[in-house]
């Protein structure tokens, strides 16, 4: 495999070649038996021994602020010594990520990408950053069977039975990249809360890691709620939650509103021909158009499935709220607002997805 993982996982690959098993069951990644100069057992334990908090499990590799008191977090923000991702990685979150991926593909008209990639002249190598469950990378592996697909994430939570041209690595992509060859296409999708500085940590490194003429594409959505007809109360629970989750993420130095700065980051990193596509994503069932109504209800389920996972760590660490306070002041109030017929069809709220 012509790539190597940075940090302590150099030469430590989690391999996902096609399995001949017909059991249909997924399992965790197994280490490369040829890996050398490392303690494979301890490394495997270190990335799979997921810490538990708030009734959820979280990334173990470079866990950072999930286990740090607020005073320690704030003392490290200046030098960004912490590498932290505040959201869970358990089965509920994996199911939510699958739903989120399905909704975005529907919103994009079935497209996985907007860069001018061609099956007649397919890319030789593709990098997917913060792959999550690996859904996008797996679909790309099927779409381009001759292309080498490399996908990275903090947790080994991807399925085992995948196309033979797809490989996953445990890696913190906010750190320095160390790939032995450049890529033809690099991709991110919904990386809210992953980076302290998208331009420095991702866009700059993507620019240096692409072949001449290569493409970098980001599919991100605004971490805000909008309303085109003023039917959403700007001081209600939902709008308040979006404002305060952005504030909390800034305190934690992991802003959730990645989309707001992506275009500028691309330009400052040196990319040319930067194109922006904007898609309105309804957040409930208000649209009269049946396709958009279905999308809105999918996105509402996606949001509500993730609500507790989005809220607990950030509000607890940034605002020192107790779990009980978070349940009552945020989660309970939002559920009371959204789980009504009036909200489903009478409140025209939406988010915005952007591709670059």
Domain-embedded: residue 1:
no
* 227-229-235-236 Cα dihedral, nearest 10 degrees: -80
Domain of 12?
Answer: 7-355
C-alpha distances in angstroms, 312 versus 99, 192, 300?
Answer: 21, 16, 19
Q: Which of 38-42, 201-205, 216-220 has the lowest mean pLDDT?
A: 38-42
315 assigned to some structural domain: yes
pLDDT tens for each residue of 19-61? 223 333 332 333 333 433 333 344 456 667 788 999 999 987 6
Q: What is the pLDDT of residue 75?
A: 42
Residue 134, helix vs strand vs coil: coil
Note whether residue 2 is domain-resident: no
pLDDT at 50: 85
Is 239 within the bounds of a domain?
yes
Residue 12 has pLDDT above 80, yes or no: no
Distance of CA 231 to the CA centre of its chain: 30
Cα gap 288→76, rounded to integer Å: 49
**What pTM value is reported for the model?**
0.82
Give the per-residue pLDDT at 242. Answer: 96
Q: Which of 7-16, 68-77, 156-165, 174-183 has the lowest mean pLDDT?
A: 7-16
Q: The domain that contains 96 carries what CATH number? A: 3.40.50.150
Q: Work out how many domains the chain is built from and give that number.
A: 1
What DSSP string runs through 68-108?
S-HHHHHHHTTTT------SB-SHHHHHHHHHHHHHHHHHT
For residue 38, is it within any domain? yes
Residue 43 lies in a domain: yes
- Phi, psi for 136 (deg, rounded to 5): -65, -45
- Please write the tens of the pLDDT for every residue from 294-329: 999 999 999 999 999 999 999 999 999 999 999 999
**Considering the chain, what percentage of its residues have pLDDT values greater than 70?**
79
| Structural domain includes residue 351 | yes
Q: What was the pLDDT predicted at 133? A: 96
Least confident of 71-85, 184-198, 216-230: 71-85
Q: How far apart are CA 283 and CA 300, in angstroms?
A: 5
d(CA 112, CA 106): 10
| Average pLDDT of the residues of the chain | 83
């Amino acid at each position: 495999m012509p790539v190597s993982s940075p940090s302590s996982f150099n030469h430590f690959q989690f391999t996902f070649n096609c399995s001949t098993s017909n059991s249909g069951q997924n399992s965790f990644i197994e280490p490369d038996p040829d890996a050398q100069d490392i303690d494979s057992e301890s490394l495997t334990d270190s990335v799979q021994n997921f810490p538990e908090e708030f009734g959820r499990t979280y990334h173990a590799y470079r866990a950072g602020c999930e286990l740090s008191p607020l005073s320690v977090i704030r003392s490290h923000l200046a030098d960004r010594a912490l590498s932290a991702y505040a959201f869970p990685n358990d089965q509920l979150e994996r199911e939510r990520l699958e739903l989120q991926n399905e909704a975005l593909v529907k919103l994009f008209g079935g497209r996985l990408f907007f860069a001018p990639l061609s099956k007649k002249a397919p890319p030789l190598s593709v990098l997917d950053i913060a792959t999550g469950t690996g859904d996008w990378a797996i679909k790309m592996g099927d779409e381009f069977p001759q292309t080498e697909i490399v996908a990275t994430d903090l947790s080994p939570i991807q399925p085992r039975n995948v196309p033979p041209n797809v490989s996953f690595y445990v890696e913190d992509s906010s750190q320095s990249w160390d790939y032995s060859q450049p890529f033809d296409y690099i991709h991110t999708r919904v990386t809210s809360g992953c980076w302290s500085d998208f331009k420095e940590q991702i866009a700059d490194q993507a620019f240096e890691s692409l072949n001449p003429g290569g493409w970098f594409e980001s599919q991100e959505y605004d971490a805000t709620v909008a309303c085109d007809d003023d039917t959403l109360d700007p001081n209600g629970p939902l709008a308040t939650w979006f404002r305060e989750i952005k504030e909390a993420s800034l305190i934690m130095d992991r802003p959730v509103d990645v989309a707001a700065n992506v275009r500028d980051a691309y330009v400052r990193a040196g990319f040319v021909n930067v194109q922006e596509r904007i898609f309105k994503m309804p957040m409930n069932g208000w649209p009269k158009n049946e396709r958009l109504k279905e999308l809105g209800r999918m996105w509402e389920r996606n949001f509500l499935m993730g609500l507790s996972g989005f809220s607990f760590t950030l509000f607890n660490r940034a605002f020192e709220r107790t779990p009980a306070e978070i349940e009552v002041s945020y989660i309970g109030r939002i559920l009371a607002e959204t789980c009504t017929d009036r909200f489903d069809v009478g409140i025209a709220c939406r988010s915005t997805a952007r591709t670059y």
